[in-house]
Amino acid sequence: MADLTCKIAGITSPNPFWLASAPPTDKEYNVVRAYEAGWGGVVWKTLGEEGPPVVNVSSRYGAISYNGTKMAGLNNIELITDRPLEVNLEEMTRVKKNWPDRVLIASLMVPCEEDAWKDILKRVDETGCDGYELNFGCPHGMSERGMGSAVGQVPEYINMVTKWCKEYTKKPVFVKLTPNITDILIPARAAVDGGADAVSLINTINSITSIDLDAMSPTPVVDGIGAHGGYCGPAVKPIALCMVGEIARDPECKNIPISAIGGISNWHDAAEFIALGAGSLQVCTAAMHHGFKIVEDMIDGLSNWMDDKGYKTLEDFRGLAVPNYKNWGDLNMNFETKAVIDEDACIQCGKCFAACEDTSHQAILAENINGERKYSVITDECVGCNLCELVCPVDDCITMTPTPSDKPYMTWGEDPRNPINQAKKVS
């Protein structure tokens, strides 16, 4: 059996599956149930300073359901924990004592004041937690108070607070990054420069999931009105993969450990993030949708896949996809692939023809032969875009076949069709 032991920033857990800081990690009861189900770690729901109480509203969640899939995307307008700090600290101390082999990370969010961070670190250190996650990502409610993404969008603040935390605790510090920014490398580099032991990403994306056309308000509707919130779930996975990959391949980030977050719902998602450089994997929406026992399928699926591939540990394939993540200008302009339709598997639905004829390159021929519809690829017109393969409802009915070629690897920078190269030729 594959060894799923996860090691990140000096912290070890029995598997890489952690619950992200969110409602599922808000109290001892939830966290113990999660550990019992098999989760390797949790990031306790974000703690704040003592003072004015955090007050949540009702309702708090909105969702996108697509083509029969419930909660393809989840929006929330919930704040950090609304439970007293002292109660959280007591429960965290007890949980860590009773579950020493599981990871417990404390998520923190306090104002951008050195004393505030110094004080809360001193208090939380006593719980025995394994490390900290600095929440610089929340895009609603707390950001209006100068915290969350209001900090995460300013690299100087990230750098400053990270340095404070590294000064006042010896435990590993994870910096949680907001995706609500143009270039994820700017805050990531600021965290690295500040001494972060790891980064966590992505936090939720600023969003409005829908409009209630009866109430004429964004959802969730709170007494007739709504607000923007944080978007997560399977729908954000492509964005998360890209941002994780950007950091994993960036020389200036110095191979900083990454705790990946964003739409991880099954073992396959987990394997993708690890292949792109992730260490631990944080899950929220999938657990809220299906319950804590979903981790059993994740563990079994990842372990079985690793066994099939011959990977004995996570390190055997962690980051293997990073060297193959390039910029568009690095791609081979001489590579060609063509679509091939398996007529035996084809159910004659015509989706490939409609998609190609109406919106692409008119490379699929539709014929009526002996009363049956037949579809075939016009090879000379096919540009290998693979739209037909994507719309086809039958797995492996349409495949993309590389065209044999003796042409050398040629990037856009070397391509004579590139205007820059044409200008050089003229000059």
Helices in 177-250 by DSSP H: which ranges? 185-193, 237-248
Strand partners, 47: 108
Helices in 177-248 by DSSP H: which ranges? 185-193, 237-248
Q: Is 112 a catalytic residue?
A: no
104's tokens: 């417990």
What CATH number corresponds to the domain at position 180? 3.20.20.70
DSSP string for 26-68: SSHHHHHHHHHHT-SEEEEEEE--SSSPP---S--EEEEEETT
Domain C-terminal end among 298, 324, 350: 324
Domain C-terminal end among 278, 306, 324: 324
Give the dihedral sign, CA 324/327/328/333.
Answer: negative
pLDDT value of position 49: 85
**Range(s) of the domain holding residue 82:** 6-324
Say how many domains are in the chain. 2
Answer yes or no: do 290 and 359 share one domain. no
| Spatial CA neighbour of 12 closest among 317, 302, 315 | 315
What CATH number corresponds to the domain at position 336? 3.30.70.20
Answer yes or no: do 100 and 197 share one domain. yes
Catalytic residue among 6, 129, 138, 397: 138
Answer yes or no: do 188 and 109 share one domain. yes
Answer yes or no: do 265 and 290 share one domain. yes
Domain C-terminal end among 324, 354, 375: 324
Determine how many CB atoms are found less than 10 A away from the CB of residue 51.
10
Per residue in 172-220, pLDDT (tens digit) is 999 999 999 999 999 999 999 999 999 999 999 999 999 999 999 999 9
Cβ atoms of residues 245 and 237 within 8 Å: no
Predicted structure pTM score: 0.94
| Spatial CA neighbour of 20 closest among 304, 303, 264 | 264
Q: What is the CA angle 109-199-62, rounded to 5?
A: 60
Answer yes or no: do 315 and 338 share one domain. no
Answer yes or no: do 65 and 198 share one domain. yes
Per residue in 249-284, pLDDT (tens digit) is 999 998 999 999 999 999 999 999 999 999 999 999
Provide mean pLDDT across the span 32-47: 98
Answer yes or no: do 76 and 180 share one domain. yes
| Spatial CA neighbour of 315 closest among 288, 279, 268 | 279
In a domain, 58, yes or no: yes
Per residue in 285-315, pLDDT (tens digit) is 999 999 999 999 999 999 999 999 999 999 9
What are the DSSP E strand ranges found in 238-321?
258-261, 281-283
Stretch (H or E) spanning 352: helix 351-359
In a domain, 1, yes or no: no
Answer yes or no: do 169 and 44 share one domain. yes
CA dihedral 288, 289, 294, 298 (to 10 degrees): -100
